[in-house]
Amino acid sequence: MGKTGAAVTETVGKGQVAHRWYARPVLFVSDVNRAIRFYTESLGFQKQWHEGDGAGTVCQVNRSECEIILCENADRRDKARLFVELTADGLAELRRELSERSVPSSMTWWGYDAIQVHDPDGNELLFPLPG
């Protein structure tokens, strides 16, 4: 379970234990190495791990507290939508990085205005604008 396994419970109040739910999305991709390049080079993620000593079809990329598992699977053609909330400063940095790296993005409405970015397999990342 990686670095998070030890932090799934915490003590709150007078010795009460609150169980922490920890989730990572799995995005299915047609080429895991192409996906790694997109997330690291275009969106500034870091590769956390890659099974098979870098030769496997599953890996994880991280940026701050956003962790995404990328899984190469030719049989899966479904697309995911990942909703990523940033601080105002984080959003300004994202906009600058998208522009500097020429990453295609658009504005969309999903309950409120959001920046929309698609990865090479059509998975969608939404970054909502502050209210």
What domains appear along the chain, each with residue ranges and CATH number? 22-128 (3.10.180.10)
The whole-angstrom separation of Cα 10 and Cα 16 is 8
Instruction: Tell me if the pTM is above 0.95.
Output: no
The pLDDT, as a whole number, for residue 74 is 86
Residue 10 has pLDDT above 70, yes or no: no
> pLDDT by residue (tens digit) across 47-60?
999 999 999 999 99
Over residues 111-130, mean pLDDT: 96
The whole-angstrom separation of Cα 48 and Cα 59 is 7
Token pair belonging to 91: 């959003």
Residue 18 has pLDDT above 60, yes or no: yes
Range 60-97 burial, b when 16+ CB lie within 10 A, else e: bbbbeebbbebbbeeeeeeeeeeebebeeeebeebeee
